[in-house]
C-alpha cells in the first residue's frame, strides 16, 4: 500500500488550526499561506503573522509504516510606530516558539467521508537533532520607507503513521 492521501490535509489543517488559534489569542491578524487571502486590512495591520506549512515529506520505513516530515514557519511583520510597545511582538513570537516546540496532535480535519476532527491519528514531534531546533530569527528593519521589521519562528517535525491512519508506535 502507499501513503494515505488524507495525510496532507490532516497535517496541514491540524497545524493551521492550532496556529490560527494562537494568533487569535495573541490578537494578531493571521494569514495561512494557501488558505487565506491578503486583504487590505491584513496588509495594513500594525502587527501580523503569516503561516507557511510545507509537507508532509513521506518516507516508507517498512511495510506500510511511514515517517512524515513537516516544516512550518511563522513570519511576523511589525511596523515601527511612535509610542508603540516594541516588545509586544516579541511576546507573541515567544508564544509561537513555545507552541511550535511542543508536540502537535494531528486530527482528521476535513469534510471527506471518515473525517472526524475528534480523532487524533498521531502526534508530530519537533525534530531534536543538531541544527533542527525550533529557531527564532530576527531580520530587523526590512523596509525603511514603511518602517517594517520582520522575525521568523521556524520549526521542523516528524510524525510516524501506518497507512491505515493509525499511529506507528
pLDDT in tens, 89-103: 999 999 999 999 999
Count of CB atoms within 10 A of residue 129's CB?
8
Domain positions in the chain: 7-162
- Cβ-based neighbours of 92, under 8 Å, separated by 6 or more: 23, 26, 28, 47, 49, 76
Quick one: pLDDT at residue 84? 81
For 6-17, what is the mean pLDDT? 95
- Assess contact for 132 and 165: CB atoms under 8 A: no
- pLDDT tens-digit readout, 132-168: 889 999 988 877 787 889 999 999 999 999 876 555 4
| Residue 125: CB atoms within 10 Å | 13
Q: Which three cell numbers stand for residue 45?
A: 495591520
Q: Confidence band (pLDDT; 50, 70, 90) for 169? A: very low
Confidence of residue 3 (pLDDT cuts 50, 70, 90): confident
Q: Does 59 sit behind a cis peptide bond, omega within 30 degrees of 0 on the bond before it? A: no
Q: List residues bridging with 51 in a β-sheet.
A: 32, 74
Q: Does the pLDDT at position 69 exceed 90? A: yes
Q: How far, in whole angstroms, is CA 118 from its chain's centroid?
A: 20
- DSSP single-letter state for residue 117: T
CATH number assigned to the domain covering 7-162? 3.30.2000.20
Mean pLDDT to the nearest integer, 70-96? 92
The pLDDT value given to residue 72: 97
Predicted local distance difference test score (pLDDT) of residue 167: 54
pTM (two decimals): 0.90
Distance CA 152, CA 138 (A): 6
Amino acid at each position: 500500500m502507499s501513503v494515505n492521501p488524507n495525510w496532507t490535509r490532516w497535517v496541514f489543517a491540524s497545524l493551521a488550526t492550532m496556529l490560527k488559534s494562537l494568533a487569535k489569542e495573541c490578537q494578531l491578524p493571521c494569514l495561512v499561506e494557501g488558505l487565506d487571502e491578503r486583504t487590505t486590512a491584513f496588509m495594513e495591520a500594525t502587527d501580523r503573522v503569516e503561516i507557511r506549512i510545507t509537507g508532509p515529506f513521506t518516507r516508507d520505513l517498512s511495510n506500510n509504516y511511514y515517517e512524515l516530515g513537516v516544516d512550518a514557519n511563522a513570519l511576523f511583520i511589525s511596523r515601527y510606530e511612535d509610542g508603540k510597545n516594541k516588545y509586544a511582538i516579541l511576546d507573541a513570537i515567544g508564544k509561537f516558539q513555545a507552541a511550535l516546540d511542543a508536540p502537535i496532535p494531528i486530527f482528521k480535519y476535513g469534510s471527506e467521508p471518515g473525517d472526524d476532527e475528534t480523532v487524533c491519528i498521531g502526534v508530530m514531534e519537533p525534530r531534536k537533532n543538531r541544527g533542527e531546533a525550533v529557531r527564532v530569527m530576527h531580520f530587523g528593519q526590512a523596509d525603511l520607507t514603511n518602517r517594517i521589521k520582520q522575525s521568523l519562528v521556524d520549526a521542523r517535525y516528524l510524525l510516524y503513521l501506518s497507512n491505515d491512519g493509525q499511529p506507528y508506535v
